[in-house]
Amino acid sequence: MEALIIAAGKGSRLNHYPCPKPLIPVLGRPLIEHIIRRVRKAAITDLKIVVGYKADQIQEAIGDGGRWGVHIDYIHNPDWPKGNGLSVYLAKDRIKENFILLMGDHVFDSTILDRLLGTKADTGLCVLGVDRKVEGDHIQINEATRVWVENRRVREIGKGLNPYNGVDTGIFLYSLFVFEALKENLSRGKDLLTDANRTLAERGKLMSMDIGDLIWVDVDDRKTLEQAENMLSLRQL
């Protein structure tokens, strides 16, 4: 099993830091290091990271992953200001089997990965980690990608979706079918990962995995950065 981490964006809400967002220190370690450590804890050692904004700084700081017992390959996205779906699509020729997709700015309990890897889905189906704790303090619901789930199937997904009964955690187990959905949407000028996920949902190919009481944080601004630090210091992540 491989993991793909997308870390190409600028992260404008935290641009008061001199470094790119994946290198912002969280309890003395770069944000992306916390993600790498959790991937390794889930026994995944083959990682690919999509970089764009200040890519050289990220590659120099993280290196080949040897210090964490993983191997990291980098994929460069020259059009990083575009939607995150493009970053995922650029990995299409580098990944040959089902893979984990992670956001480069989400910190999470590694048990979520363990549970996701343990899910059973039919060939071709994709699985999204869904948080049903929609009123939790760890979620900025106005910014979150919302989902409507019925019998484990994601029926609808999108920002501003209403009604909704869960939130997209940005943690996926994808089959290669996602690249077909991405290609189709990119050809229509839709470059967000959510666009492809909506296509998967419409075709009955996007399942959900409820993360239960486990915690995750989308580090998007100063408030969520502080939340991540607090949760990490309390070992809730």
Which residue bears the tokens 């020259």?
78
Q: Which domains does the chain have, with CATH numbers?
A: 2-233 (3.90.550.10)
Q: What are phi and psi of 161, to 5 degrees?
A: -60, 135
pLDDT at 16: 66
pLDDT at 173: 96
Q: Residue 199 in 3-state DSSP?
A: helix
Triad 97, 122, 192: Cα angle to 5°: 60
pTM of the model: 0.94
Q: Enter the DSSP assignment of 82.
A: S
pLDDT at 120: 65
Residue 167 banded pLDDT, cuts 50, 70, 90: very high
How far is CA 138 from each of CA 77, 93, 218, 227, 228, rounded to the nearest angstrom?
30, 35, 8, 7, 9
Task: Please name every residue paired with 102 in a beta bridge, in sequence order, or none if there are none.
Answer: 5, 171
What are the pLDDT digits (tens) for 82-121?
Answer: 999 999 999 999 999 999 999 999 999 999 999 999 886 5
CB 8 within 8 A of CB 90: no
Q: How many helices (H) and strands (E) does the chain have?
A: 7, 13
- The amino acid occupying position 41 is K
Residue 38 banded pLDDT, cuts 50, 70, 90: very high
What are the pLDDT digits (tens) for 136-146?
Answer: 667 777 778 99
* 3 vs 137, residue with greater confidence: 3
Give the span between the Cα atoms of 237 and 235, in whole angstroms. Answer: 5
Question: For residue 100, with 0-12 CB atoms within 10 Å meaning exposed, 13-18 middle and 19 or more buried, which class applies?
Answer: buried
